[in-house]
Structure 1
Amino acid sequence: MRMDTRALTTVRISSFEKRRSVQRKLGGLKRGRRLLAKCSRRERNRARKHVIEIARVIGSLAEVNGFEGLRPRRMLRRSRARNRGITRADWRSIAGRVEGAVEVPPRHTSDACSRCGWENRDLRGSAVLRCERCGLTMDRQLNAAINLHLRMEGVPHRRERWDENVLPSLVGGHPLTGAERRGPDELARGLYDAVKPKLYAYDRHADAYLRAPT
């Protein structure tokens, strides 16, 4: 599932700019410290509002939601812009407010084929995963979402199960809405819990499931 967190990011950016402006103009003055404290309180209140709203929407989609157990500090690199983007996303605060949230190990979710389990260790920043074992070609984010869904359910990689349960959900970019079990090996919930509708579609020219323009 992809959620729009631009409003939350905007709060972080605007507050950062205000604090930097106050620090430049007033420095260590008493008035400056009061303004900085005021900016911090306002940022916390506004950010909390958006976090609660995003968590409410996620919680309304399914009884159980899986989140990657990512650690932001381990993802920080030399790029300041990338580091700021990671810290402003604040997804751990969102996950902490979602009822029924399950933390799923993130290891190899984007580089392992969700259909057969083959791991591509040489992606080199590619946005598309191409499996050399079963031939699956898919957007890496979509592939990771499916892997997280399967891992949350405790379901191993099997081509037959993938073709029967996952493939019908991807055709045309419209996932299944039913969540009833038809057999003992079927997933308990539909793929809607992992992928937002119409964000991905099959490109017959590229013979791959890629992100659709929105």
Structure 2
Amino acid sequence: MKAEGDKTSIEIPTRRARSPTSVDGPQSSRENPQLTTQLARAPSQHPLKMQAIRHRGACIARQARRSAPRPARRHASSHDHHHAEPVNESFGPGFWATIAAMPACYVVYQASQPGKDGEAPWLTRKIHEYRHWQETWEERNALHTKAVEQAGFDRTLFLHAPANRDIDLRYPEAVQSSAARNIPAGSQANLDHLVAHYRNLHLAEEERKAKKLAAQME
């Protein structure tokens, strides 16, 4: 211990511990056996004191972590809105449409002008080329109208026609299969001479009645 003025300083001799397997090798441990004994006892001199210090330090660190203010958790994104990059603006489609309309109007105007010899304009001639479609459609419409009228007439005729009361037979011979009393006269034998005989009798009787009536009138 040295005293310099009012200050007091204490000098503590320090020793550098060397392990038996240090750079000096096993030769240093043989030369200083006391140092080897101190190094062997050094880890077990104050084990309880070191454990208490570590435990105390861990408690202090834990309390400091709990007492420290924790920022509130935010679920919002921290990304700022980026500014849009500059865009090279060009002429819009309306501008180019106007520019293209000028020569188009000029071409249409030239096509609508009459020819030198008084002929119809080119645009008019092109329109007349498709006029035959109008005639074709007129003919088709006329035929369609006639077909609709005929269909309506046929439908009306079928609706107002009397119902067919004929009964279709599976075989026509069924009409002739009847009783004998229903056979008409003359269907089985020729009766022409009999008909002529009774006609002559009827005429003679009528002539006699006419003569008798004439005699009474006189």
Same fold (TM over 0.5): no
Higher strand share: 1
> Which TM-score applies when normalising by structure 2?
0.19
Say which one has the larger Rg.
Answer: 2
Higher relative contact order (CA 8 A, sep 6+): 1
Higher helix share: 2
> Which TM-score applies when normalising by structure 1?
0.19
